[in-house]
Structure 1
Amino acid sequence: MIDDLPRMSASTLSPPSLPSTPRSRVLAAGAAAACLVLLGTITFAAHIDRRHARQEVERTLQVLAALRGTSGAMSEAQAHQRGFLLSRDERFLRAYEVAEAAAVQQMTRLRQLLTDQDAIRLAAQLHDVSNAEFAELDEELGGEISPKDMVKAPEHLQVQLRAAVLVDQIEAREHSLLTSRELRADRASAAVNLLAGTLVLLTAVSVAVSVRYFQHAQHLERLVTVCAWSNEIKLGEEWVTVTEYLAREQGMRVTHGISPKELARIEAELERKQGA
């Protein structure tokens, strides 16, 4: 009778096997992890570049503010100096001294902020011109000058004109740098946003695939192979009884009894034998 049973291979009797981890699977997982790490590194580098670009933009704005402060303080100093010479009002003299100190302070800050070599060279020239201008203004404060003498000499006007030209040149240079730096900052921000979005997407996909894989693995682990003839259970490479399987896998202590159905079958078989 057993010979009449269909021949079944081991694969027919066994459930789908648990997903294995061959070398190709390990290499694929490693490559995916390496790509995430590489993309994360690139994203971090782009973030640093964006921060640096924004710092450069902020520095350029500070340079322009210091340049305006220097030019404004020099103009105020000249106006207050003229006011004092005309009126001999001490309030104009004090205002002149405050404006002169402010111009020196703004010039110092301007030279500290500059990073462009052309702008640094122009600022050095502006520093020399402003020193010459204030030296002449201070010299005039010590003498007696009539309103008629207030008309500027050509040399003095040339100094003021030179200072104005240098201010305009530095401002034009910094505005050009500001445009290029703002463009770089915008591009860096766009790159960071794109890389960050890609990184989040790949991470989400990796997590989803990993969760799906482990869910599938857990599902396969719950499948139990039972012999169709002996009711033995496959445990690793062994075939064990149900009692042994429960004891080894579930930690259950097993007792034995007899079901009503089986008891009725045995009683019927005994009565049949006794009747015979």
Structure 2
Amino acid sequence: MHTAKGGHTLKGFWDTMLRFTIVRSRTVTWMSAGFAALILMTVIAVAGFLYQQHGSDAVRHTVEVDARLSRVLSSLQDAETGQRGFVISDDEAFLAPYIDSRAAFDRNLDRLRDLVLDNPEQLAQLSRLRAFAKQFEVELDTSVALRRAGDAAGSARLVTEGQGKRTMDAIRALVQEMEQHEAGLLDERQAVVSRIALAVWAAVAAVVTLLAVLATTAVREAGRRASLARFLPEELSDQLADADDSLRVGRRQNAAVAFVDMRGSTTLAENLDPHELSVFLTSFRRRVMRIARLRGGVVDKFLGDGALVVFGLPEPRPDDAARALAFAKDLVEVIARWNVKSDGQPPIRIGVGIHYGDLFCGIIGEDTRLEFTVLGDTVNVAARLEQATKAHGVPILVSQAARDAAGKGVGRWREVSRTPLRGRAEAMAYFTPLESDE
């Protein structure tokens, strides 16, 4: 039996609905923010990887500049060695590396210029290097020309005076400055690459952590919803899952309640074996659920061969009572068609009682056994009306309140009685559809 809880403090319907909306909104907002953060971090990680690649290219660029500087210096040194060998020995064989090294110098200097085009400071140093190299070549060519002309003493004197050596020392100092500049750039670029690599790994770790959090949250949420679905009506479990503990407080609202009961189920149980009875009851419940869903009702629970159906969940609607009356008529018609198809089985008869009014709805019970239910006098009256269908021999009884709330367009009804229902002192009018409307 459903009874109202005396002294239970409840908030108003709209306060509860607002709280439900806020909690649900917070859940959706949190999940949306999580996925947005995930996308943002993924973008950061990808950008970091790309920038890290760019930094690695910059490091390789610096290494190549150093290599070209070494080759430039090496080619000048090779030219100097060939020049000295020819001056001392007058052997033309020394002029071959002298000539080849000058061509190599030009190639390496051009390549070096291409590498430092984006560095004004290095370009300025490169111009100085080219001037020193030109001066050095002139000095080498002069001594070689004197030796070829037979002036060995003059050629040796040029070498002994050390002008070529001083120019070469200036070239070495300039190359060293350029190498130090590149070394500084290399240190800076390696530091940037290291920081970027650290940031990338941190972003990847954050993405992985966020994915783990979202996955854990999703699994927990799925488990929580599955747990609720075990105890709560399917139409409510998803929405109630987002409401957290707020529905434990419950709410008051107007709703239409329909009690359905099958007549003669005891005789059926005696004539059918347990398996056949199970199949039969499953078929009956399936029809009740199908019609309830068609009319927007929620099967709160099945009570053996009966059912409690509520119209007004998860939110009340203006036509709750009208849909409840239509449900009752549809169910009676469906059962009648089922009887036609039964092969010699006794006809199935049902009783449906409907009342409309204020009730309490919410979650009761412990965490291990939750139950969403409706409580209050409206539920009691609907149950008494269903019981009264037996005494009056009609399949449907509807209270005056339900009929008035349904408004026009719900067919024609005749008053059955105003006698107080069993267990109640006050009189009330209740109705059944005219036969032409059933």
TM-score, normalising length: structure 1: 0.72
Number of the residue aligned with 1:212: 220
Q: Using CA pairs under 8 Å that are at least 6 residues apart, name the structure with larger relative contact order, 1 or 2.
A: 1
Q: 1:70 aligns with which of 52, 69, 72?
A: 72
Q: 2:134 aligns with which of 111, 131, 156?
A: 131
Q: 1:149 aligns with which of 137, 152, 155?
A: 155
2:142 is the counterpart of 1:166: no
Q: Give, in angstroms, the shift of residue 154 of structure 1.
A: 5.0
Map Cα deviations across residues 72-119 of structure 1 (whole Å, 9 max, x no partner): 111011101221233343432221122111111121222221243322
2:121 is the counterpart of 1:121: no
Give the direction of change, closer, same or farther, for the CA distance of 1:88–1:154 in structure 2 (3 Å limit).
closer
Distance 1:136 1:118 in 2: 28
Number of the residue aligned with 2:306: 231
Distance 2:75 2:303 in 1: 101
Q: Give, in angstroms, the shift of residue 164 of structure 1.
A: 1.7
Q: Give, in angstroms, the shift of residue 147 of structure 1.
A: 5.7
Number of the residue aligned with 1:268: none
Bigger strand fraction:
2
Distance 2:210 2:58 in 1: 32
Q: 1:188 aligns with which of 179, 183, 196?
A: 196
Matches within 5 A, 1:198-209: 198-209=206-217
CA contact (8 A) 2:82 2:94 kept: yes
What is the DSSP-based 3-state SS (H/G/I as helix, E as strand, rest coil) of the residue aligned with 1:210? Answer: helix
Number of the residue aligned with 1:85: 87
Bigger helix fraction:
1
Unaligned runs of 5+ in 2: 6-19, 234-299, 314-322, 335-340, 347-438
Which sits farther off after the overlay, 136-145 or 59-68?
136-145
Q: Give, in angstroms, the shift of residue 230 of structure 1.
A: 4.8
What is the DSSP-based 3-state SS (H/G/I as helix, E as strand, rest coil) of the residue aligned with 1:227? Answer: strand
Q: Give, in angstroms, the shift of residue 66 of structure 1.
A: 0.8
Distance 1:222 1:138 in 2: 99
CA contact (8 A) 2:76 2:102 kept: yes
Give the direction of change, closer, same or farther, for the CA distance of 1:87–1:22 in structure 2 (3 Å limit).
same
CA contact (8 A) 2:113 2:126 kept: yes
Distance 1:45 1:234 in 2: 57
Aligned partner letter, 1:74: L
Distance 1:233 1:203 in 2: 43
Pairwise CA RMSD:
3.2
Which sits farther off after the overlay, 81-90 or 220-229?
220-229
Q: Give, in angstroms, the shift of residue 41 of structure 1.
A: 2.2
Number of the residue aligned with 1:28: 30
Distance 1:103 1:234 in 2: 96
Give the direction of change, closer, same or farther, for the CA distance of 1:229–1:120 in structure 2 (3 Å limit).
same
Map Cα deviations across residues 187-219 of structure 1 (whole Å, 9 max, x no partner): 111111111111111112212322332344345
Map Cα deviations across residues 151-185 of structure 1 (whole Å, 9 max, x no partner): 43454343222212211211121122222222221
CA contact (8 A) 1:86 1:147 kept: no
Fraction of identical pairs, as percent: 22
- In the comparison of the two structures, how many residue pairs are matched? 235
Distance 2:96 2:58 in 1: 37
Number of the residue aligned with 1:104: 106
Give the direction of change, closer, same or farther, for the CA distance of 1:226–1:8 in structure 2 (3 Å limit).
farther
- The structure with the larger Rg is 2
What is the DSSP-based 3-state SS (H/G/I as helix, E as strand, rest coil) of the residue aligned with 1:226? Answer: strand
Unaligned runs of 5+ in 1: 10-18, 248-253, 259-276
Map Cα deviations across residues 26-70 of structure 1 (whole Å, 9 max, x no partner): 222221111112222222232233222222221111111111111
Distance 2:187 2:113 in 1: 21
Distance 2:129 2:187 in 1: 24
Which sits farther off after the overlay, 109-118 or 220-229?
220-229
